[in-house]
Amino acid sequence: MGIIATIALVVLGISFMVFVTFFGRLPALRGTPISWLHKVIWVHFPNFLKSIDRRVTGGRIAPTCTRFGNYMMYDRHPSVLIFFLLLLSIGEILYLPTAWPQLSPLTKFTGAISIILPYVFLYLAAFTDPGYITPSNHSSEMSRYPYDFTLFHPGTSCHTCHLLKPARSKHCSVCKRCIAKNDHHCIFINNCVGANNHHWFILLLLSTAVLTAYGGILGVYLMASRMKFFFPYWALLPWNANNGSGIPLRDWLVIWSWGFQNQVGMGAVTLLAGLTSPLVWGLLGYHIWLVYCGTTTNESMKWSDWSFEMREGFAFKRKMQDGSVRQKDLRIEPGWTRWPAETEQVLVRTTENGQMPAEDDQSLPGYGPWEAVWGLKDVENLYDIGFWDNLVDVMVPGYNFRDEPNGAGGRGGRGGLRKRKKRRARRIYLA
């Protein structure tokens, strides 16, 4: 079992490090061992190495390593994309020669589809324009979403692109562009995940999750059948072996070891697929949860910051006039959007010893008295209109949820400005 145990430990270690790297900064994991480990690995340990470098070499090595690390993590290059492609293709080269002759025609058909789809969706996610905002499409991007006057306020300009930032957009420091509905920059696709390729990214996660689960389960089945043929008393579960009387765990593991070594290529890939599948399914589940909450990875971080302000007593809200009657400043805010809801609140923060803004302050939007906000449960998320509509927004980019301003029907428009369901931002933070 030495070889198998070594492979399993290496794969588990890599999977855990990837999990810590990508999930350690999530708001839901703050204050957990995962967040602490992320700080140790990516903050404290590098600082420790820098201190050693300063003592030994006078700090000559650290800047070079930092530049290389920043290039690998924060610059646009296809290294991780190529690694992902190699991982898929080499795994299939090792797996298929042994497994393919043992498969039925139906399994070959479904297996071929599960193999092809990740490549298709990877290509579409990586090479589709994620939603670059340019002077030519700026006006249409402004009408994609209304400002919620909470996370996104009108009048904010990008200092790099020199354009007004549409609601839910963000400037990507890697792509050097503003991205519509920016979720995050994904190094596995060497591209941002934005309004125009979010659906391809979700489908990539789904197809990869299915492929790893399919390959792992099928590999276990094929190896178990072969081991059962040579060792009739063996069973997949040790207590079911030997006609239900069971066999010692050591003997059961020895037979497993024989099965891996007898079909080493397929066995290694089966083990890799089985150990990495939960990580891929977890990532898919997280992004489906974000869709359910009507938010993005970027916005979940913003909600986390708001939660801190609320706990400190620096957040206040008041009502906003209905979007159909409110006089909008068309220089900085779209007069019409395809979104079926308008904001009902204004949320502001103050640093003046937690003092509530003046009710008659004309520089702040909204009307009526200000109310202190102490938690995310007391504010609403404008961009959550129910799971199925949230899903439509992701899977059908540019879908019109209401009629065009001139009364003509939009693409699949549902007509009218309908009242959305009450969705509290508390759920976003817990995500």
* Residue-level pLDDT at 409: 42
Residue segments in the chain with a per-residue pLDDT below the cut of 70: 1-12, 14-15, 22-23, 26-29, 73-74, 323-324, 351-353, 404-431
CA 384, 387, 388, 393 torsion: positive or negative? positive
Annotated catalytic residue: which of 178, 186, 192, 293? Answer: 186
Q: What pLDDT does residue 45 have?
A: 82
Residue 38: how many other CB atoms lie within 10 Å: 21
> What one-character DSSP code corresponds to residue 160?
T
Q: Note if 186 is an active site residue.
A: yes
Whether 317 contacts 370, CB under 8 Å: yes
Q: What angle do CA 118, 123, 14 make, to 5 degrees?
A: 55
Provide the pLDDT for residue 256. Answer: 83
pTM of the model: 0.84
382 phi/psi in degrees, rounded to 5: -60, -30
List C-alpha distances in Å: 143 to 151, 208, 271, 303, 414: 17, 34, 48, 23, 17
With H, G, I as helix, E, B as strand and everything else as coil, classify residue 364. coil
